[in-house]
Amino acid sequence: MEGVDHLAHERNKSEFDVDAMKIVWAGSPHAFDVSDRISKLVASDPGFRKDNRSTLSRKELFKNTLRKAAYAWKTIVDLRLSEEEAAKLRFYVDEPAFTDLHWGMFIPAIKGQGTEEQQQKWLPLAYKMQIIGCYAQTELGHGSNVQGLETTATFDSQTDEFIIHSPTLTSSKWWPGGLGKVATHAIAYARLIVGGREHGVHGFIVQLRSLEDHSPLLGITVGDIGMKFGNGAYNTMDNGVLQFDHVLDVYSIAFASIAVMLWVSQVTCEGKYKQSDVPRQLVYGTMVYVRQTIVADASCALSRAVCIATRYSAVRRQFGSQNGGPETQVIDYKTQQSRLFPLLASAYAFRFIGEWLKWLYADVTQRLQANDFSTLPEAHACTAGLKSLTTTATADGIEECRKLCGGHGYLCSSGLPELFAVYVPACTYEGDNTVLLLQVARFLMKTVSQLGSRLSSKKPVGTIAYMTRVEHLMQCRCGVQRGFAELSADLVEAAVAHCQLIVVSKFIEKLQQEIPGKGVKQQLEVLCNIYALFLLHKHQGDFLSTGCITPKHAALANDELRSLYSQVRPNAIALVDAFNYTDHYLGSILGCYDGNVYPKLYEAAWKDPLNESVVPDGYHLYIRPLLKQEIRTARL
């Protein structure tokens, strides 16, 4: 029945202050207020409906995305939303679109790597969306290997201009979001050539389309790369292909007389290349920025899937009826708990590691401005490793949540197939997860060689086993006289272990803070212990081989996990309510707040276009002749 809370009995079991936990999840009372207000604004506006996406063709889907993006911008302008509120609105609209890359990469790249003059010229236009930008780095032939990019940018000192060119098919820019049909400008990464000498990959601001009629400029060939995984999903995004045919990049900026996108290098009017004495890897700064945001995004995506699976696991009953009584809620099965509750704990763990990484990134950015590069290697290793760890765990976790919902999890109306299809490229974009773990492994090798065996003593006591595991895994590999490449698969495992150590230790540090609200800290302690003991159980071979735990410890840890699952059980619904997701944002009948699943599933089925007629289109052409033929055969 509508209006009845079918999960009220679950909510009444809660042993902690859910409203206080909502503040913890949001990060602060202010953050909660903004999220709560904007999510409800989006949910209540039919202009942002998203329940029809799976029935649209690619062109209809894309045009609808353009409509929504324009509508979102109008809403932002009309309501005079702040930058924070506008970002939240785009988040709750929940549709991959060109605006992600305009706001999420194009603008940050100019802010992070542009000179003062370049920022003064381009940022006002970008903030007003009078230009729409994309981040064009990856090419058909190279994505992971940035130093392998082939696009060239040759400085012509006669005209004080750059000539941007795609010398080969494989140098075609390929994948950049927003590039295919919308972006008017790109930050294009190309090999800088001055006076016949090459100076590596740099970023350039290049106009792609006319601001009058949106037609591609002379020398620009641009389009969409075609359908991607899933039906709706990321097909709302125009990932594009771009070729330059000796394009004159005429954006000369007074300061350096050309548009080299970097405060770390300039080309003077006399055609001299000046490399500042800063690490060349600062050219990768935008990727580092996005990787740290992707960690926070992982906690959002995983928490959405866990919210759906937890609520449905409390609604779904299967087997176990005693004397005609109700069947057992599947959330009460120990197997369901052992699959679901570690994912609930991971969602919270990733939330807090995302908060810490945001601090680390802000700290390293501040240091860079003072030419202090001391923490840059650690910041790179942490953003790379934690992006890899959290996106892999989240993609796997969303799929596990689909399976936790049985057959109905496979329905589009569960929200899980779409969530999975939109999320999984996160394991690839902003750096293939294995390639990024290799960077962490390289950092660990260097650290071990510099510090000897102890990677760091700066960890809370509770993580000694985790720290010893990393050291052991590294010693086993570093001690062996074989090259990095030969041992890379093993070193990647050590890199994962190192990142898990960071997540566990930051969760423990979070619990050492003042956390208001009845029972809130206690619930977080239970989730922290579940996260740590679940990983210890999953990787117990590593821990046993280090000798820092015995088989008895491993058995005790497993017993403790079962006990912890029992402690979470009465609070599970309240813990996912704390995410404060609207039904609109969740986009899931299985995860609806009131738990009134079956009537909603049944109603939704009849809305499918296939049910517009009781006899399907094609019956008379194909089925009837078939049946008639069978009848004739049967008479033989």
Ligand X SMILES: CC/C=C\C/C=C\C/C=C\C/C=C/C(=O)SCCNC(=O)CCNC(=O)[C@H](O)C(C)(C)COP(=O)(O)OP(=O)(O)OC[C@H]1O[C@@H](n2cnc3c(N)ncnc32)[C@H](O)[C@@H]1OP(=O)(O)O
Ligand Y SMILES: Cc1cc2nc3c(=O)[nH]c(=O)nc-3n(C[C@H](O)[C@H](O)[C@H](O)COP(=O)(O)OP(=O)(O)OC[C@H]3O[C@@H](n4cnc5c(N)ncnc54)[C@H](O)[C@@H]3O)c2cc1C
The question of whether 430 is a catalytic residue gets the answer yes
For residue 428, the one-letter residue type is: T
Question: Residues 290-329 vs ligand X: string with x where CB under 6 A?
Answer: x--x------------------------------------
**Residues present in the chain in total:** 636
- b/e map of 340-372 (b: 16 or more CB within 10 Å)? bbbbbbbbbbbbbbbebbeebbeebeeebeeee
Contacting range for ligand Y; rule: CB under 6 A; set: 36-44, 86-94, 250-258, 429-437: 429-437
Is there a contact between 408 and 312 (Cβ–Cβ < 8 Å)? Answer: yes
Q: How many residues bind ligand X, per CB under 6 A? A: 28
Other C-beta atoms within 10 Å of 99: how many? 23
For Cα atoms 22, 25, 26, give the angle at the middle one, nearest 5 degrees.
85
288 binds, among ligand X, ligand Y, none (CB under 5 to 8 A by kind): ligand X
Q: Determine the 3-state secondary structure of 136 from DSSP.
A: strand
Map the footprint of ligand X across residues 422-481, applying CB under 6 A.
429-431, 435, 439, 442, 446
Q: Determine the 3-state secondary structure of 608 from DSSP.
A: coil
Binding-site residues = 138, 177
Q: Exposed, middle or buried, 134 (CB in 10 Å: 0-12/13-18/19+)?
A: buried
239 binds, among ligand Y, ligand X, none (CB under 5 to 8 A by kind): ligand Y
Is 563 an interacting residue with respect to ligand Y (CB under 6 A)?
A: no
Place of tokens 């090419």: 139
Contacting range for ligand Y; rule: CB under 6 A; set: 108-116, 306-314, 389-397, 430-438: 430-438
Residue closer to ligand X by CB (options 177, 180) is: 177
Is there a contact between 151 and 191 (Cβ–Cβ < 8 Å)? Answer: yes
Question: Residues 78-117 vs ligand Y: string with x where CB under 6 A?
Answer: -----------------------x----------------
Residue closer to ligand Y by CB (options 438, 532) is: 438
Residue 453 and residue 470: Cα distance in Å, rounded?
A: 10
Residue closer to ligand X by CB (options 104, 114) is: 104
Q: Please select the residue that binds ligand X; options are 54, 252, 281, 567, rule is CB under 6 A.
A: 281
- Pairing status of strand 247-249 against strand 161-165: antiparallel
Q: Please select the residue that binds ligand X; options are 12, 28, 120, 144, rule is CB under 6 A.
A: 144
- Tokens, residue 107: 């603008």
434 binds, among ligand X, ligand Y, none (CB under 5 to 8 A by kind): ligand Y
For residue 131, the minimal CB distance to ligand Y (Å) is 17
CA proximity to 297, closest of 422, 400, 418, 404: 422
234 binds, among ligand X, ligand Y, none (CB under 5 to 8 A by kind): ligand Y
For residue 443, the minimal CB distance to ligand X (Å) is 6
376 binds, among ligand X, ligand Y, none (CB under 5 to 8 A by kind): ligand X
Map the footprint of ligand Y across residues 435-454, applying CB under 6 A.
435, 438
Which residue minimizes CB distance to ligand X?
Answer: 104
Is 177 an interacting residue with respect to ligand X (CB under 6 A)?
A: yes
112 binds, among ligand X, ligand Y, none (CB under 5 to 8 A by kind): none
Map the footprint of ligand Y across residues 141-200, applying CB under 6 A.
143-144, 175-177
- Tokens, residue 383: 């953003």
Given the residues 430, 493, 509, 525, the one annotated as active site: 430
Instruction: Find all residues with CB under 8 Å of 388, minimum gap 6, and list them.
Output: 427, 431, 433, 434, 436, 437, 440, 496, 499
Question: Residues 238-267 vs ligand Y: string with x where CB under 6 A?
Answer: -x----------------------------
Instruction: Find all residues with CB under 8 Å of 129, minimum gap 6, and list them.
Output: 73, 102
Instruction: Find all residues with CB under 8 Å of 136, minimum gap 6, and list them.
Output: 173, 176, 179, 186, 187, 188, 189, 206, 242
CA dihedral over 328, 329, 332, 334, signed as positive or negative: positive
Is there a contact between 533 and 564 (Cβ–Cβ < 8 Å)? Answer: yes
Q: Please select the residue that binds ligand Y; options are 432, 490, 525, 583, rule is CB under 6 A.
A: 432
The DSSP line for 191-230 is EEEETTEEEEEEEEEEE-B-TTT-PBPTTEEEEE----ST
Map the footprint of ligand Y across residues 121-140, applying CB under 6 A.
135-138
Binding-site residues for FAD = 138, 177
Contacting range for ligand X; rule: CB under 6 A; set: 13-21, 67-75, 138-146, 474-482: 138-146
Catalytic positions, please?
430
> What is the binding site for ligand X (CB under 6 A)?
100, 104-105, 135, 137-138, 143-147, 177, 281, 284, 287-288, 290, 293, 376-377, 380, 429-431, 435, 439, 442, 446
> What is the binding site for ligand Y (CB under 6 A)?
101, 135-138, 143-144, 175-177, 234, 239, 425, 428-429, 431-432, 434-435, 438
